[in-house]
Amino acid sequence: MHNCHNDSAKVVSAKAIAVLASLLLMVGVTSCSQPAQQAPQQATANNSADEVLTATDPLLFVDPLIGTDGKGKTYPGATVPYGMVQLSPDNGRTGWDWIAGYFYPDTIIAGFSHTHLSGTGAGDLYDISFMPLRLPLKREKTDGGPAAGTLVSSFSHQQEQAQAGYYQVYLPDYRVNVELTAGLRTGYQRYRFDEIQAANSAPLIRLDLGYSRNWDKTTASAIRIIDAYSIEGYRYSSGWAPKQKVYFYTKFSKPISSLQWQLACDTEQLQADGSLSTVELSAAAKQQQGVAVALLLQFATAHRDITVRTALSSVSSDNARQNLLAEGEALSFDEVKQQAQQAWRTELSQVQVTASRDNLIQFYTALYHSALAPRVFADSDGRFLGPDGQVHQRTDHTHHDFFSLWDTFRALHPWKTLFNPERNQQQLLSLLDHAEISGLLPVWNFQGNETDMMLGYHAVPVLVDNYLKGHLTSKQPQELGDKILQLAVKSAKQQAFGLQSYQQLGYVPYAERKWNVALTLEYAYDDWAIARLAEHLGKTDIAAEFRARSQNYHQHFDTTTGFMRAKDGAGKFRMPFDPNAYHPEDYCEANAWQYSFFVPHDVPGLIALYGGPAAFTAKLDQMFSTAQLISSQTSASQTSSAQPLPEWISGYIGQYVHGNEPSHHVPYLYQYAGKPAKTQALVRRIMHELYSTKPDGLAGNEDAGQMSAWYLFSALGFYPVDPVSGEYVLGSPEVHQAILQLGNGKQLTVKALNQSPQHLYVKAVTFNGTPVTGFTISHQQLMQGGELIFTMSEQAP
């Protein structure tokens, strides 16, 4: 979730889709409004939610509509694993609910744009927006839209479907069926206009480069008509990332007959008879530039089926064209769709799960969401826009972008260490690309920009975790390790972002910076990662320095209250203090409860601060049982700066918040205190209550895959509390069985014997026949392959 800017830094489930597809085939529906779909090859539509199934085709269990309602902030449109293009519908509104462009409860669609963010707290992108139209046009006033109203169509979820790599919706106001699919750097739309006998019924397509909502603002745009079938141009914008450049090249399957140039805020120009006032293509101006250019294209009435293929680039329109050529300009929509879905099938088949139908949908949709970031940013020739605003090129790896590191260092990046080392290495090298160009590792990079969103230097634990696991390979491993260490130390020794005081005092005083408690705790964790790497490389002096810095969490601990609290420069705690209230100046997107347990690298040390396992357990129990403060409540110590947590912080169990990242590891901390049953019951409760197969099935922002990665690990029965330790803490698996195709060619099978919703507790664990006597298992062990077997029980151990 990202609502803090660091100036320093009605359900359509997979089952419903299958039922709809089967019914359409049975009745022979083939009209544009309800296209026939291929019947599922695996008979799952009639299975009950509790029946145990094995996923032989994972695509049948992916529902991209999960997370599009409630707090999830995901988009339902078409993309491929780690794809540059995210072609998805937009409702045309500004607001928190429309961060991803689309909000499930809405009833209108304003266009289909090619770039979207998955589950973040910042609304941006929506680049290169197309909308199929037909007279008469419908405008509706929408928040954030033009004064004259936004061109929209109503739609119904009964005439909509979303699959991995494919999206379809019928727009009744224009009698057109829309289908979307995608390649790695291209989006493909297919418009099928119903045949109607009416005047002025010619198909229209509007390209609106001025379309912007939420944080996004168009700063410059241009369109050039190349010929009757091709256009190109660019859209520059500012928003979350300050200097965004998106170039495009579009190819139509049918020739443009006439057109009307517009500014994005213009209404259409009509003739007296109600027809559109257009200029024949041969006589029209072929290029327009401006802040917000739009183009309304008219096609011959007989051309009711029109495909629109658009390639993107951060470099140039010519590079966008080359990206289209590289993927195959002559490919049909169905061929591209087949390739997209096969790419997803390959990606998702790295894990074959046996579980209930609902759990399969939850698991494979989470796996789908986990493969949406980071994503390809370089063109087919290796060129990309760098954080210095210049074009750079890499030919030895594909440069990726969109690293939501404050969220994803916790579980998403550790999850990727289990699979596909080649792709994982490309993403990791992209972090080093950024540092080579800008001089520093990224905090939160996006569209070639450093946003300085959130806090910490969390690229460090991501790189260290992968280096120590052997996922960052090089012909000179020591040299590569030294390079990472040098960059890590450089990040840690900056004199900005509160780091000067942190280095001098061991903490960030509240008078100096907001989020001061959060900054100290997260810096301490990142310092631990530096110490681990330095120790591995034999740099004992650096290791000792940063191991000492990693203990700075002690600075904020108040033994009287048992909370991490803000301090002034003299070491005195801020007063008054209310742990249940939201103090945004001290904690980032959290209160004292959620941050007081953020010491993932030294849980034994944290337990000692509380006075031992019993007191630590009692404090955890209190966290999960203390009611949240709501806006109608006040407390004796509450001041104007102490508020209830904002509505976008969600997914509560007591004061535990699953809808945001800082406390994701907390349910597993009971294990360190000798209370495994409490961890086991809690993680199963979270999976059961805070994840579902409904559109509002995510308890908080998806946050570029972190929310899903938590589920993926937990459903298998283990979680990386401290990613750079190389250890996983055991929990309680939700699946019956999972077979993981590991990145080293070996296979890991996870089994839960005697599994059921009532059997929450783990009676015993074995790995390759040997009992696991502690509460952790190492990454190195799992990568050997074999069988990890949990014996489940209804009784707590």
Asked if pLDDT for residue 640 goes beyond 50, the answer is: no
Asked if pLDDT for residue 588 goes beyond 90, the answer is: yes
Rounded Cα distance, 418 and 470, in Å: 11
Let me know: does 507 contact 520? Beta carbons within 8 Å: yes
Q: If you average pLDDT over residues 247-266, what whole number do you get?
A: 91
Considering the chain, what percentage of its residues have pLDDT values greater than 90?
Answer: 84
Task: Dump pLDDT digits (tens) for 539-551.
Answer: 999 999 999 999 9
Let me know: does 234 contact 291? Beta carbons within 8 Å: no
DSSP-assigned beta bridge partners for residue 218: 237
3-state secondary structure of 749: strand
Q: If you average pLDDT over residues 78-90, what whole number do you get?
A: 98
Rounded Cα distance, 419 and 749, in Å: 14
pLDDT number for residue 2 = 52
Rounded Cα distance, 689 and 543, in Å: 42
The alpha carbon of residue 548 and the mean position of all alpha carbons in its chain are separated, in whole angstroms, by 34
pLDDT number for residue 636 = 42
Rounded Cα distance, 374 and 431, in Å: 11
Let me know: does 152 contact 139? Beta carbons within 8 Å: yes
Let me know: does 727 contact 744? Beta carbons within 8 Å: no
Q: For the whole model, what pTM was predicted? A: 0.93
Task: Please tell me the number of Cα atoms within 13 Å of 436 on its side-chain side.
Answer: 14
Task: Dump pLDDT digits (tens) for 191-248.
Answer: 999 998 777 889 999 999 999 999 999 999 999 999 999 999 999 999 989 999 999 9
* Amino acid found at 377: F
Asked if pLDDT for residue 253 goes beyond 80, the answer is: yes
Among 22-26, 121-125, 481-485, 753-757, the minimum mean pLDDT is found in 22-26
Please give the mean pLDDT across all residues of the chain: 91
DSSP-assigned beta bridge partners for residue 567: 573
Say whether the peptide bond before residue 136 is cis (omega within 30 degrees of 0).
yes
Let me know: does 300 contact 257? Beta carbons within 8 Å: yes
Q: Predicted confidence band at 627 (pLDDT cuts at 50, 70, 90)? A: confident
Rounded Cα distance, 447 and 245, in Å: 8
